[in-house]
Amino acid sequence: MFTLVRSRVRTAALALSAVAALAFGTTGTTGAAAAPAPALAKQGPASVAYVEVNNNSMLNVGKYTLANGGGNVFDVAVIFAANINYDTGSKTAYLHFNENVQRVLDNAATEIRPLQQKGIKVVLSVLGNHQGAGFANFPTQQAASAFAKQMSDAVARYGLDGIDFDDEYAQYGNNGTGQPNASSFVHLVTALRANMPNKIISLYNIGPAASRLSYGGVDLSSEFDYAWNPYYGSWQVPGIALPKSKLSPAAVEIGRTSQSTAADLARRTVSEGYGVYLTYNLDGADRSADVSAFTRQLYGSDAVYTR
């Protein structure tokens, strides 16, 4: 845990397009997903909001609009977080939802669809859970592919827009599991992309998996839609071969990163031509002052909060 710039609760610039929301691909209509209403045009980088669903509602993401035109402040909402767990009996990794994540997914009609109908993509973060299972230590290609299918099945079942990889808290080696190897993450992401070619796959650029993007002549970089800096309150360009339009070197924790720092990072995002701005821990309070600190720089507008 990086206390200087992050405080996750474990349980888990201009964009190349004139309309930032459209940069995130086709909204998933698999399963029960409803077709989204067209998002209002918004010039500038796309904004991402992680939500700790153990404590807060995903619907908070849709409560912020731009004062100068009413467009969504946030283009992507990330459900934080599902887990990669380990079954010691079968010695296999499996996708796990705690009761709060499961509640969000089971109530997709009221927790997820309202965001998608506004044009906001909804992505599921998958995180380690101290059990030894991680994205970088599958024992075989078949095991990696099996876990990829669990993730893509969840995306289809709940009508989500993609998967976000966060390789933290795995504690590789626990329960007799292996240490990170060179092939696992390449096999995993390759299989996941084959399963869901038109969905978002994003990388929270941390952990052993993030440094194992190439194996056997295969480079994973182009399989990701986006990658972002994991250290809140800082500027760090993710070390992955993606265009600037798909990278967020800026990362802020709403309510903890100072408004001046959030503004400076947003200003730099625009001036250096990056296409994404990452935020974490959007809660249910009126955070319009914190959000406006970066929207003024990204979009030339204050943010408006609507209960």
Q: How is residue 221 written in tokens?
A: 């970089």
Q: Among all chains, which residue has been given the structure tokens 């967020």?
A: 248
Active-site annotation holds for 168: yes
- The Cα-based distances of 213 to 59, 181, 257 in angstroms read 34, 11, 30
User: What is the token pair recorded at 253?
Assistant: 């924790």
Tokens of 97: 């939802």
As a whole number of angstroms, the distance between CA 247 and CA 26 comes to 19
DSSP string for the chain: --TTT----------SSSSGGGGG-PPP-STTPPPPPPPPP--S-EEEEEEETTTS-GGGGGGEEETTT--BS-SEEEEEEEEEEEETTTTEEEEE--HHHHHHHHTHHHHTHHHHHTT-EEEEEEEE-SSS--TT--SSHHHHHHHHHHHHHHHHHHT--EEEEE--S--TTGGGPPPP-SSHHHHHHHHHHHH-TTSEEEEE--HHHHT--EETTEE-GGG-SEEE--STTEE---SS---GGGEE-EEEETTTS-HHHHHHHHHHHHHTT--EEEEE---SS--HHHHHHHHHHHHSS-EEE--
Of 168, 223, 253, 272, which one is the catalytic site residue?
168
Residues that are catalytic: 168
